[in-house]
Structure 1
Amino acid sequence: MVAALIRLKKDLTFNSFGQSAWHILGTVFAGLYGLGIVVMLFVLQVGSGSPAEVDPEMVRTVSVLMGSAVFLLWLILPVFISGADTTMNPRQFVTYGIPRRSLILGMALTGLISIGAVLTFIWLIGQVAHWRWDPAAALTAAVTLPLLLVSFSLVSQAVTTSISAWLSGRRARDVLAILALTVMVMAYPIVVGLEAAFSSLEAALPAVVDFLALTPLGAGAAMPADAAAGNWAALALRLLIMAATLGVAVLVIRAGLVKITEQPSVRGSAASKSATGVGLFERFPATPWGAVAARATTYWLKDTRYGGTLVVLPALVILAVVMYFQFDQPWVLLALGPFFGLTLGFAISADISYDNSAFAMHVTTGVSGVADRLGRLVGLMTFALPVTAVTALVPALLFTEPDVTLVLLGVSLGMLGSAAGLSCLISARFTYPVPKPGDGPLSQPSGSTGRLMAVQLGTMIASLLLMLPELALVAAWLLGDVSWLAWVLALGSVLKGLALCWAGVRVGARVYERSQPELFQQVIQY
């Protein structure tokens, strides 16, 4: 049975490449990107482990930090991809009566059939080279290589099974994914806080490494250092930690499988909930574009595929403030407003793709292109305008003068209008696969990477090119110190953003009406 599961995962992996050329392109790009990072780490491992100039403490520090980072990636990635790739989800095997022990072993081994597992194996080979200056340490690194691989796979599977068993609800998955993304964004402020707690980062590293080496994150990577130092008691302790980690992972997987197969939960029907009123539909004009705007705004508030990733925007503000005080670089805060404008304006570039089958309402009811484009734009602007404006004013609280604040506000709102207008045009013709209704906000369907990157990158570049006049005026204003240019720049940016919004709606409407059948076919296909 274990062999059958392994063959199934192998066949599913290779068959996925036959879906589309975009899928192959995206997979190759992601693999090359990961391979480039691993090669850089491999070079670092080989260089820092040179017998000629070896620093045992530095080698131990690098080993534990990299090992902890790799373990953490295996731990948190299932939170992001749960709901994207469900081929080996435990729930898929409920009706087959597979023995629990075989299913646990099979899922652990199938977790090693992936690009991530191959890249991790290359990194583990680098670990052996990292400790080659000491025979005992190199031997320990080689012996623990399969142990670490199995540990990574089991812990990752434990997270996947736990999410499937106890957090299978859409809201729970979305909260987990957003929380994980927020923690990643806040990683730098956390590091800065740790550095402030010590006299310097150099003083903090030994304590951090010693702590990580006593946790499942870094215990396996610290064992070669214990062998090199002849500290066999510490090595035995870390081996015990790894064994306990494997045991806990197996117990979690087993409990999850019991919950999935023997104790399924029965959810109440959503229809039993009482609902009154028509929500935002009574707050927008009773016109076709008002109805579209009300629906789009409702999606932004209730569908986490839309607004879920925007939850991290406050964390980005905190990150920028911390970096400003840490490095005394004003540009970090000055770039916040334009960055938010570009990001939020780009947010409606995949609105039709997110509609999924609901796009049929626009097709069958004959919603005009202007009503569709304008409604989606108004739905975005209800929150994007105040958010961008407030973010652009953050530097004014710390250091900027009135004319700088005026320019920053105008450029930020202009960037929002330019990007939103361009998105009204792009989304009327180009679509790409997005998470389906009910999926997590950070999941991506198979085969979407290549087309997604092409459309998004092209839209971003076009948005930046549209802002070249503002950039030229900013350069003239800074070099010439002409105060009246501040008013020209602010007013010109806003007017140009409004003009591009109008053009995006008008031209996008014509493109939308001409390509509506193709759009519907593409969305249904996704």
Structure 2
Amino acid sequence: MAVAVTLVRMKLAILRHSTKGQRGGMMASGGVLGLLFAAGTIYLAFLEGDWLAAAYAVWMLGWIIGPVFSGGGDETLRPEFFSLIGLPARKLAAGLLVSAFVGVAPVISLIALAGMVVAATSPVNALVAVPAMVLQLAVFVLLSKVAVALLGIALRSRAGAIGAGVINGVVLAFLGQAWVFAVAFGQGSQIPAFVRYLPSGWGLLAAQGNYLALAAMAVLIGLLLAAWAALLTRRAGANRPSTRGRRPMRAGTGREAVVAKELRTWSRDLVRNHQLTFALAYGVFFAGAPLVLGWTGMLPWAAPIFIVMAAAMTANLYGTDGTSLWLVLMTPGSSDVRGRQLAWLVTVGPVAALLAVAFTLLTGGPWALILTATAALLGGGAGMVPLIAVYALVPGTDPQKRGGNPLRTSEDDSALTGLAYLMLLLVGLTGAPAVVVAILFGWWGVAAGLATGALCYWGLGLLAQRRLAARGPELLHMMRTGRRPDGGESSAFKLPDMPKKQRMLVMFCWSLGAIPLVPQGVVAAIFVSTGQLRQSWFLATYMSPGLRWPVAIAFMLLGLAMYGVGLWLPHRAKKAPAREAVYD
């Protein structure tokens, strides 16, 4: 108990000092969004059927898969910090578990679990629901901790990294396409009964009179705690380098050497293996999820989705390489940016082309749109990745110094997550002009996609090359120290000091702007153009002929406006100190 109390006090002290400035604003904004989701979950408790059990299953999946996008989850107190104290693994795991309940995410999850009280079948069961909420939250937290620990061990081998990438990609795609399964269940008689008996639904079973579920949760918590304690003892183990013979690297020019080095990094770095497999699994499953409704129209879009996600996962290309950046600066004629662009294209391009051709053949089209989007996005991704990597570099951990959690490649998880979301938007925008041409003029869009892709590859790469040559020493300084030479923030993506209301508005726009822009705007416009009407939740497909295009365009403009506000408010806040300095 003393260990747990000490760890809780440490966690509270750290959080108390980290709730100021940008991190505090990010926590507040995320808390507001979380409260909205929690309120929606509680609302489901008033509906008939197993909607609440299904919602808790989604919350459980979020706890398991969330750490993949947030650098390994909440590790305010890392197990490595206490490795020299000599605490027994089980005692340390129990103390870390208790401290894990301190934070924004556990509080919001506990509020969402209050739906058990609403769903209780009697006053006595309403009282039982209170301990059931706590036990259910403990199950969520421990599942998250065990999943992160297992993933860390999996990332020590290539097979494990690939397998973990597939699982994580499928689960995250399921969360992103939850509406598909909601519609599928809504068209049927009820949600499948097995959802109630998943570990996420045991607390709800207890609140509805099945008290054995409380004992089952207690047993599960004990097993998960023991598993986590055992995994903590293996966390400090280092990756074992492969001793297999390799063909010698042959390169006639500096650019060829960079390409060869990057291709070997893509094949050897287990984190990159995981990222690429994750992007592939996400794209295939996200596009294939509507098959549950018997709709094949989205399947060919697996290739564009894979390209955009691969770009987002590798947005911090230079940051993840650590201080090896000094090698690039000492060999200025190596064409490092161009070499990295070509290696990225060679790694992602063949897989994307195979997906585009195979799935479009299966569905019979639309050939022009898919080929256009694939060509444009490949060029846009290959140009945007190095550009964002040098303009919004987030200092990362040197690969040889990565700890027991390989997913944590940087100390600034919020900046990495924001960088990934920004990349999703920017790469998507590089393909938008060519897609519009394909919608309006058919096969001319393919030529437009090749042209815009080549232009983005050359132009954005040139900008990245010039930035690296002009600001290379400053970037290396930031990689080494975590601070800019001028004392500013370490990441260009970080939000400046802003009022909390504006910060919350920015987070709202970034988080939800994709809904009106992509599904209700771009995808609905594609349906309207191809004559596919009355498609699930796409509003424009239900409108009268004269309103279909206006509604789709209005949603696209709304999404762009939300992203515009999300970018303009931070830009204005960054300019404000400069204006005040001039006036002073």
- TM range, normalised to the smaller chain? 0.7 to 0.9
Give, in angstroms, the shift of residue 87 of structure 1.
4.7
Asked whether 1:372 is paired with 2:336, we answer yes
| 1:504 alignment partner AA | L
Conserved? CA contact 1:80–1:443, under 8 Å: no
| Whole-angstrom CA distance in 2 between matches of 1:203 and 1:436 | 51
Alignment partner of 1:381 out of 345, 351, 354: 345
Asked whether 1:222 is paired with 2:209, we answer no
Instruction: Spell out the pairing of 1:191-270 with structure 2 (5 A cutoff).
Output: 201-202=188-189, 205-206=192-193, 208-209=194-195, 211-212=197-198, 216-226=199-209, 234-235=210-211, 237-253=212-228, 255=230, 259=233, 270=241
| Whole-angstrom CA distance in 2 between matches of 1:239 and 1:189 | 31
| Whole-angstrom CA distance in 2 between matches of 1:63 and 1:342 | 33
Partner of 2:107: 118
Conserved? CA contact 1:360–1:520, under 8 Å: yes
Asked whether 1:420 is paired with 2:395, we answer no
Give, in angstroms, the shift of residue 88 of structure 1.
3.1
The structure with more radius of gyration: 1
Identity over aligned pairs, percent: 21
Alignment partner of 1:497 out of 453, 457, 466: 453
Q: 1:163 to 1:377 in 2, by over 3 A?
A: closer
Give, in angstroms, the shift of residue 117 of structure 1.
1.3
| Whole-angstrom CA distance in 1 between matches of 2:312 and 2:282 | 19
Which structure has more relative contact order (CA 8 Å, sep 6+)? It is 1
Q: 1:144 to 1:523 in 2, by over 3 A?
A: same
Alignment partner of 1:94 out of 83, 86, 89: 83
Partner of 2:29: 29
Give, in angstroms, the shift of residue 222 of structure 1.
0.4
| Whole-angstrom CA distance in 2 between matches of 1:289 and 1:367 | 11
1:227-256: per-residue Cα shift (whole Å, max 9, x none)?
xxxxxxx42x32332232233234435555
RMSD: 4.0
Q: 1:243 to 1:304 in 2, by over 3 A?
A: same
State which drifts further: 150-159 or 237-246.
150-159
| Whole-angstrom CA distance in 2 between matches of 1:155 and 1:472 | 44
Alignment partner of 1:521 out of 474, 477, 482: 477
Conserved? CA contact 2:435–2:449, under 8 Å: no
Alignment partner of 1:449 out of 414, 438, 461: 414
Q: What is the TM-score with the length of structure 2 in the denominator? A: 0.69
Partner of 1:474: 438
Alignment partner of 1:182 out of 157, 162, 169: 169
Instruction: Spell out the pairing of 1:237-386 with structure 2 (5 A cutoff).
Output: 237-253=212-228, 255=230, 259=233, 270=241, 273=243, 275-278=245-248, 281-282=249-250, 285-312=251-278, 313-314=280-281, 316-324=283-291, 326-330=293-297, 332-344=298-310, 349-363=315-329, 365-368=330-333, 371-386=335-350
Instruction: Spell out the pairing of 1:98-177 with structure 2 (5 A cutoff).
Output: 98=87, 102-131=91-120, 134-154=122-142, 156=144, 169=156, 174=161, 177=164
| Whole-angstrom CA distance in 2 between matches of 1:24 and 1:6 | 19
| 1:184 alignment partner AA | V
Give, in angstroms, the shift of residue 353 of structure 1.
1.1
1:107-154: per-residue Cα shift (whole Å, max 9, x none)?
2311111222111221233322333x6322212213433343444445
Give, in angstroms, the shift of residue 397 of structure 1.
1.5
Question: Partner of 1:97: helix, strand, or coil?
Answer: coil
| Whole-angstrom CA distance in 1 between matches of 2:332 and 2:388 | 18
Give, in angstroms, the shift of residue 162 of structure 1.
6.8
| 2:123 alignment partner AA | P
| 1:361 alignment partner AA | L
Give, in angstroms, the shift of residue 190 of structure 1.
12
| Whole-angstrom CA distance in 1 between matches of 2:191 and 2:163 | 30
| Whole-angstrom CA distance in 2 between matches of 1:452 and 1:75 | 17
Question: Partner of 1:88: helix, strand, or coil?
Answer: coil
1:361-393: per-residue Cα shift (whole Å, max 9, x none)?
112x2323x701111111112122222222221
Question: Partner of 1:95: helix, strand, or coil?
Answer: coil
Conserved? CA contact 1:396–1:405, under 8 Å: yes
Conserved? CA contact 1:344–1:416, under 8 Å: no
Conserved? CA contact 1:140–1:224, under 8 Å: yes
Give, in angstroms, the shift of residue 507 of structure 1.
3.0
Conserved? CA contact 1:174–1:441, under 8 Å: no
State the number of aligned residues: 475
Q: 1:110 to 1:343 in 2, by over 3 A?
A: closer
Give, in angstroms, the shift of residue 100 of structure 1.
6.2
Asked whether 1:6 is paired with 2:2, we answer no
Conserved? CA contact 2:71–2:410, under 8 Å: no
